[in-house]
Amino acid sequence: MSSSFKTFSREEEERRRTVPDRVLIRRMYDYAKPYRRNLIIGALTTVLTSVTGLFSPYLHKIAIDQIIQPGKLAGFLWWIPLFILITLAMYFFQYIQLFQMRIVGERVVARMRDEMIHKLQVISLRYFSEGEIGRILSRPVNDANTVRIFLRMGLTSIIMDTTSILGALFIVFSLNVKLALIAVAILPFTIVLAWFLGKVSRAAYRKTLSALGGLTSKIQENLSGMKVIKSFVQEEKAFKEFLKVQDNVVKANIKAIRISAAYQPIILYIRISGTALILWFGSQMVLAGEITIGTLVAFIEYQFSYFMPLTDLIAVYDQYQSAMAAIERMFDLIDANVEVEEPENATEINSIESVAFENVFFGYDPKIPVIKGVSFNLKKPYRLAIVGPTGAGKSTIINLLVRFYDPLAGRILVNGYDLREIKISSLREKMKVVLQDSFLFPMSVKDNIRFGKPNASDEEVIEAAKAVGAHEFIMKLPGGYNHIIREGSSNISIGQRQLISFARTLLANPQLLILDEATSSIDPYTELIIQNALKNLLENRLAIIIAHRLSTIRLCDEIIVLNQGEIIERGTHKELMEKGGIYSSFYRMQFREETGLESTIKAGS
């Protein structure tokens, strides 16, 4: 399905990225601003760690030239304490920088993760229906962890290694310019190579993260559909599909590893070449009396001081490329188009007195309309039933009314206000939707019932459960109202789950009640139990009911029949039956088996 905006699908993730690193870094710094003190202390102590580390080679030079060669061993009395003091100072600064930089890393990523989760709460449902959940989940989990590790360790390495390289170069040029020029002559080759490999590695790591998101999506898909997989004996097929996705992850990682593995051997070869040059020319300069043996030893050590950090820096650059790819993906989610927005001066409604659809058109794909020219009016108290074949657009009307989406044309009015002018939270607080497959959270039955009214007392919870006929079966559960519902409601039946959902809705006391096939998963006997409760629930309030059960539809004041997105019939049950149209045919096909139940309801009313 095409759309006018991006979703987190495989196709979207494979598109080429063009956001410059400086833009990403600038945005990342905005998240670090509240922790500037930690960042400054961490950066400062990182520099001091590198600086104190640079003292050691120079102290070795002094020991050789001023203590060992002249035979003045008494000089070790001051040299050794100084060496120990500098070493302890280095480790102390290292402890501080590790602690501070890890605080920055944890808190910055936590802020970004907060924004991502917040965005997931407000973006359109289109992102979840068109995108792959695993790929969406990968951003606040896998990508966030990649950035966290970089900020905690990689950023520290960049500061420390850069300081070591610059400090070592400054010192060797101070010791002897001629030998220093020989020592750094091969550095430009290293820099050019790092730039080229870094450019290639970024694309490779982007594909690695994308493949990992696909793996997360496949695992989530298999776990969610495990019952279906087992029912159709498709375990082997599901496993083969998993292996295929996992193979893509392995191949993407191997490609990235192949690039990163080329870094260090090349750098080490260059370093050995540099060491050979220093020894060759340095030995001749010692024999010529241009430098001392201590200076030559210091040069060799300082060559390690800027080449080893350079090796680390290039390895961290590899990590940096991975982090930049992850940051791009995280900002993709943070910057996602909300689509359904409310104006700054949105109207807050205190009640829902009327609902009107005025010539509404809508399609999940704008090119393929799902509903076409739908119009109807409801005024409190009024109960409207919507019936029609699968795919007629019944649930789409509910999605528009709850404002999960906005119409492509026409208007939806509540209390005379255009839905787009009303504050979304005040709209949804006044209405409640009971779905065919109601979701219950993995917590106690009691907490699930009071989910829509957190401050409800235990007595109110029990009264709501009794009103819908759920109290009896709840009391038979281990722990009663304190019974913990497992993830996916696997430890209760579908009918029991629906009754708990009805109790939750009743307790919330909505002004507009929407039942979307809410009784289709309940057996006729259980439905009979809740009919009186439904009558009480529907009394003196607006209600829209999508149902196939005659017993539920007969509670409504009006029935509209949808077919291919258009209203083709409307009226009461009796009027529509007399017309002998689609509703009448639909009734004869779908409701004939409920005649016995209908008679029971009539007898009890």
Going by pLDDT thresholds of 50, 70 and 90, the confidence category of residue 522 is: low
Return the DSSP state at 519. Answer: T
Res 147 pLDDT > 70? yes
State the pTM of this model: 0.66
Res 592 pLDDT > 60? no
At residue 302, the pLDDT reads 81
Q: Which residue has the higher pLDDT, 605 or 521?
A: 521
Res 600 pLDDT > 50? no
At residue 18, the pLDDT reads 65
Q: Which residue has the higher pLDDT, 128 or 256?
A: 256
Distance CA 463, CA 164 (A): 72
* Domain 345-430+548-605 grouped into CATH 3.40.50.1980: no
Residue 158 in tokens: 């960049």
Res 2 pLDDT > 90? no
At residue 92, the pLDDT reads 93
Task: Sketch the domain layout of the chain as residue ranges.
Answer: 10-334, 345-430+548-605
Angle CA 294–295–300, to nearest 5:
95
Going by pLDDT thresholds of 50, 70 and 90, the confidence category of residue 335 is: confident
Section 526-536 average pLDDT: 68
Going by pLDDT thresholds of 50, 70 and 90, the confidence category of residue 4 is: very low
Res 5 pLDDT > 50? no
Rounded to 10 degrees, what is the CA torsion of 259, 264, 270, 274? Answer: 160
CB-based contact 479:453 (threshold 8 Å): no
Distance CA 420, CA 424 (A): 8
At residue 61, the pLDDT reads 83
Give the tens place of pLDDT for each residue, 358-389. Answer: 999 998 888 888 999 999 999 888 889 998 88
- Mean pLDDT (the chain) is 82
Q: Which residue has the higher pLDDT, 217 or 335?
A: 335
Secondary structure class of 185 (helix, strand, coil)? coil
Segment among 360-369, 458-467, 563-572, 594-603 with least mean pLDDT: 594-603
Section 96-115 average pLDDT: 91
Among residues 264, 259, 269, which one has the least CA distance to residue 321? 259
At residue 597, the pLDDT reads 46
Please provide the distance, in angstroms rounded to a whole number, between the alpha carbons at the two ends of the chain: 49
At residue 515, the pLDDT reads 85
Return the DSSP state at 63. Answer: I
CB-based contact 403:424 (threshold 8 Å): yes
At residue 289, the pLDDT reads 83
Q: Which residues pair with 542 in a beta bridge?
A: 512
Among residues 339, 58, 321, which one has the least CA distance to residue 200? 321
Res 261 pLDDT > 90? no
Q: Which amino acid is at 273?
A: S
Give the tens place of pLDDT for each residue, 408-418. Answer: 999 999 999 99
Give the tens place of pLDDT for each residue, 10-63. Answer: 555 555 556 788 888 899 889 999 999 999 999 999 999 988 988 888 888 888
Q: What percent of the chain has pLDDT over 90?
A: 18
Section 322-339 average pLDDT: 84
Give the tens place of pLDDT for each residue, 467-515. Answer: 888 898 999 999 999 999 887 777 888 778 888 888 888 888 888 988 8
Distance CA 507, CA 449 (A): 7
At residue 598, the pLDDT reads 47
At residue 409, the pLDDT reads 93
Complete DSSP assignment for 523-575: -HHHHHHHHHHHHHHHTTSEEEEE-S-HHHHTT-SEEEEEETTEEEEEE-HHH
Res 124 pLDDT > 90? no
Q: Look up the CATH number of domain 10-334.
A: 1.20.1560.10
Stated as kind and residue range, the H or E segment containing 603 is: helix 595-604
- The dihedral through the CA atoms of 22, 26, 28, 33 has a sign that is positive
Res 111 pLDDT > 90? yes
At residue 303, the pLDDT reads 79
